[in-house]
Amino acid sequence: MTMPTPQCPWRMQVHHIRQETPDVWTISLVCHDYYPYRAGQYALVSIRNSAQTLRAYTLSSTPGVSEYITLTVRRIEEGAGSQWLTREVKRGDYVWLSDAQGEFTCDNETNDKLLLLAAGCGVTPIMSMRRWLAKYRPQADVQVIFNVRSPEDVIFANEWRDYPITLVAENNATAGFAVGRLSRELLTQVPDLAARTVMTCGPAAYMEWVEKEVKALGVTRFFKEQFFTPVAEAATSGLKFSKLSAMKTFYAPVGSTLLEALESNKVPVNVACRAGVCGCCKTQVVSGEYSVSSTMTLTEQEIADGYVLACSCHPQGDLVLA
């Protein structure tokens, strides 16, 4: 079976698949080579073993602890990646992954007091890091608060019994759950909050709220997973973009990346890493001024032809796109 794209050189075999909650599955993979990754990182997955469709998923397993490499995936209606991984992929199938990527990890954190805050599927890197801390920093004082819609949505429910955790359920809270959402009151109950390193992962609005609150409560070491980027409202003025192939004109505020401009105007664009690494968002600019912060994966010829990585392209004025 040949590699679908050089971006996903790691062939892994599905060992088993376990349903975690009504809409989340964990796919356990065996890699016959040593696959280096850090707790909390993610990988791109080649969907249907194609070169065009790559999706980023957290590696929910923990290096040096977990028996398998695992992806924990929420099934999203019309999600090309999650539908394939949770409905069609079977035991024994092969799946191709990229190198592990991302900076959201605790392995270089020297503070022994941590607060890990997760909401929904954002718990996947948090669990990866929690296991890592238990094994490699057993002395660390780690508090976890995990927000779910309802008790049945607790991902890794059995495993969380091994660790101190505060579970918060918005609906149908049963014994063992705080009711509602993460609140300032719950945060202030965390001992030594201001001295802790806070790491959070969840929907963008949740992480925004967490950042504002914990900083107001004195936290100075704060990290969030940048993977979930909010999609802004379409602008009606600012920089003007003309997409020739779609005969479409749209706007985005000065300071937006080209990717933000495309996404906020619902212009189709492939995206996975959002960090100038995977090459998914390659887009051709016909004219206009821009600077780039990454050209990784682009050839010299492509750069000369005006190709950019939309996530790493910073328009300096109006742009015309192919």
Residues that bind ligand FES (CB under 6 A): 271-274, 276-281, 309, 311
Smallest separation (angstroms) from ligand FES to the CB of 237: 26
Smallest separation (angstroms) from ligand FES to the CB of 308: 9
Contacts 24+ apart (CB under 8 A), 295-299: 297/7
Smallest separation (angstroms) from ligand FES to the CB of 271: 4
Q: Which is nearer to ligand FES, 82 or 197 (CB)?
A: 82
Distance separating alpha carbons of residues 274 and 320, to the nearest angstrom: 22
Residue given tokens 């409560």 in the structure block: 217
Q: Which is nearer to ligand FES, 116 or 309 (CB)?
A: 309
Q: Which is nearer to ligand FES, 198 or 272 (CB)?
A: 272
Of 136, 114, 110, whose CA–CA distance to 126 is shortest? 114
Of 201, 278, 189, whose CA–CA distance to 40 is shortest? 201
Of 150, 170, 145, whose CA–CA distance to 160 is shortest? 145
Q: Which is nearer to ligand FES, 119 or 281 (CB)?
A: 281
Smallest separation (angstroms) from ligand FES to the CB of 257: 9
Smallest separation (angstroms) from ligand FES to the CB of 96: 16
C-alpha atoms less than 13 angstroms from C-alpha of 285 in its C-beta half-sphere: 27
Distance separating alpha carbons of residues 28 and 18, to the nearest angstrom: 8
Q: Which is nearer to ligand FES, 102 or 276 (CB)?
A: 276
